């Protein structure tokens, strides 16, 4: 694959922002996903 121009923002900050989204305050499933499993899945972190 040819090298691509990537946007400059840092994804880690974007993930942190999602964790702090007030929409999940009452949503333990989403909080757990954001805290643990989803990034692991994206990273293929075996």
Partner 1 sequence: MNRYDINRKNFYEATSLREPEKVPVGVNMYGWAFHYAGVTYRDIVDDPVAVAREYDKFFQDVEVDCAQMVGLPWSVRTWKALGSNIYDFGADGNCVNHIQVNDQYLDEGIYDEIIADANGFINNTGLKRMYPIFQQPKEQAYASYIEALKEYKNYSTGSAMISASLREKGIFSITDDLAFMYCTSFLKFFDLYRGIVNSMVDLRRRKAKVYEACKAIDALKEQSLMFAPDALPKENMIGYTVYHPEGGFFNARQYDDLYFNIIKETYLPYLENGVKLYIYGEGAHMYTLDRFRQLPKGSIILHLDSDDPFQVSEKIGDWITLSCGITLDLLAGGTKEQCVDYVKKCFDMLAPGGGFIFAPNKTMCSSKDAKIENVIAVYETANELSRKH
| Residue at token pair 């691509």 | 4
For the CB of residue 30, give the shortest distance to partner 1 in the complex, in Å. 6
User: What is the rounded distance in angstroms from the CA atom of residue 31 to the CA atom of residue 25?
Assistant: 8
If residue 43 lies in a helix (H) or strand (E), which one and from where to where?
A: helix 38-43
Number of shown-chain residues binding partner 1 (CB under 8 A): 29
If residue 41 lies in a helix (H) or strand (E), which one and from where to where?
A: helix 38-43
Rule CB under 8 A: choose which of 10, 20, 22, 26 binds partner 1.
10
- Residues lying near partner 1 in the complex (CB under 8 A) are found at 1-4, 6-7, 9-12, 14-15, 17-18, 21, 29-30, 32-34, 37-39, 41-46
């Amino acid at each position: 694959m040819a090298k691509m121009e990537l946007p400059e923002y840092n994804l880690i900050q974007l993930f942190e922002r999602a964790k702090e989204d007030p929409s999940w305050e009452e949503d333990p499933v989403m909080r757990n996903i954001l805290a643990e499993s989803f990034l692991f899945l994206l990273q293929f972190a075996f």
